[in-house]
Structure 1
Amino acid sequence: MSDSFSNDLRQRALEILHGQPINIGKMSSEEIERIVYELQVHEVELQLQNEELRGAQQALLESRQKYADLYDLAPVGYLTVNPAGMVEEANLTATQMLDMARERLFRRPLVSHVAATHRQAFLNHLQRLFETQSPQRDELQLVRANGEVFYAQIDSTPEPAAESDPARCLMVITDITRRKQIELAEYEQRLFAASLRLIANVLNSTLDLDEVLDLILENVDYVVHYDVAEVILFEEDEAVIAGSRGYTKRELHEDVDSLRLPVETTPNLAHIRRTGQPLLVPDI
């Protein structure tokens, strides 16, 4: 118990006893002994109460520290945000996600860490939250201080507050970049399979080579986006460009479609013919 608290208790006791002096001269020795005994018992009681208070205070401090550790070291980011979108509190995970020190993040508009294409969605998220006072969830692209973009799931809940307290919300940020990458890969696989099925159907329905090649070029763009593309057929020692797409000038398109290349002196073509495998060439 602090000295200031003990002094306060003493002052209050003196005020209560003020005007009520004890006349020891009129008391018998037995009464004085009883009073002394009661005072000793009361002193022991106060000592025990002080020990209990100190123990309770220490337990409270330890509990607060455990809560602080759980808050800071949670696997998701926690932010407290006001209706203007300003960050008022942040746990350690959130600061690491956004790559910014806690003191710099404090009172900073969170929208500055939202990708430009998702900022309106974030502002709508906040508006719905505080207008309806109901939880909101959105998936947005956030930007770290170093410029790196990542996908995040934002779960926001209004924070209960007294009538006089300012409105705030608790925002939970979960990094879902890996999940988004898996979803995109699955989507591309489904698109690729659909394109192959479409090409197979056309191959079974027409013998027109130009029509088949044009369809192949059209559907490849769904899987691997390109600016220009060609279909090359091997004829003995030569590679013939049988069809192309993406050339804007007609004369260039015609020149490409009539081009014949020697296989053995063209390393990329020689590799493809020899291995029968696709060849990835970096952008040049």
Structure 2
Amino acid sequence: MDIELFIQRAETLHKQLADLYQTASVLPWIPPDLLPQAFKELYSTSKLVQLAAEELYHQNEELLQTRNLLEAERQHYYDLFECAPDGYFITNPDGIIQEANLRAANLCNAPKHHLIGKSIINLISFAERESLRSELNQILQSDHVRDLVVRLQPLQGESFNAVLTVAVVRNQQSKTTSLGWLLRQIHQSHQPDLGLVNHEKYLSQNRTICKYAKGENIPLNPSGIWYVHRGLAKLSTFCETGEEVLMGLAKKDMVFSSSMTSLPIYQATALSDIELISINFTEIAVTPILSHILLPKINYRLQQTESFLAIAGKRKVEERLHHLLQLLKQEIGESVAGGFRVSVRFTHEDIASACCTTRVTITRLMGKLQQQGLISFDSKKHIIITDVKPSS
């Protein structure tokens, strides 16, 4: 049923009951003690229904607003992926291409729709295909990013030397769901052995490390990007009602910037003592290896934003809370005896903002999960998500 129609019917019912109750109360020939108790309770219940309907309406409006904000964020990151200066593929675990950006299509000299459904191995020179299949089997067994120097054979045109950077994407059950492939052409004038480049060392060498204490707001420079060297930051925006909305978590080796979002209000807050490195976009533009290193990190932020968007799309608060806890477990969970400990402390207000609900509701649901043995807390009030399955 449409929520506005439901509210109108609830208000009409309440008004009719109020009129009937008032009329029955003033009729001189009906003693007050003869009014049925059930009628009084019905009137009271209708009032509760009316209030509940109004609250449901406001929560639904806030949820729609949050979904619109997250969708705008997701679209912005997709645009960054599509217009990236390097080629990018997403394949299934067998290497079948599912997505490709514009640069990848240009390097392969083919329309994007011609690449979808083809094996990425068939884009490699015939002499190297067996070697790549062997490399792919090893990649699937590891979580490390792998750089491969190959001879790329476009669907049309001459072959050329290229670097394929491969990363494995796994679900919460550690099952491989897809592979991300970054494609860069190697020009004959400079062919660095990118497989020997230490990404973290390259990003941090000869650059100033900025430190912020837990709870501090992190200044955002639109002409540069922050790289997280140590610690954790919360990325958020605010609704028209003034309520904070969690947009993402930037942990070690991740990047964030105000220029990477179209939201008018965007804030970064240190959830722990944090060390950051600023990288100017001008430097990125003239240093190809920086785009090679940073594009997968930008893509990871896109995937995380989509995860938060999926949480906001769940209809029930219980489902939103469950998926948020699983996301926190995946992103910042630390293995401990009996489960996974969330590495920073989240208040019920923080969790409520991420789940698009009230702090009171989260307090009640968290208490229920704790009684069921699905979560617990350590001495510092950090959430521990246990390995116990819910009882049937």
Question: In which range does the TM-score fall when normalised by the shorter chain?
Answer: 0.3 to 0.5
Q: Give the structure with the larger helix fraction.
A: 1
Computing the radius of gyration from Cα coordinates, the structure with the larger value is 1
Task: Please report the TM-score for the alignment, with normalisation by the length of structure 1.
Answer: 0.48
Q: Which structure is richer in relative contact order (CA contacts within 8 A, separation 6 or more)?
A: 2
Q: Tell me which protein shows more strand as a share of its residues.
A: 2
TM-score, L = length of structure 2: 0.36
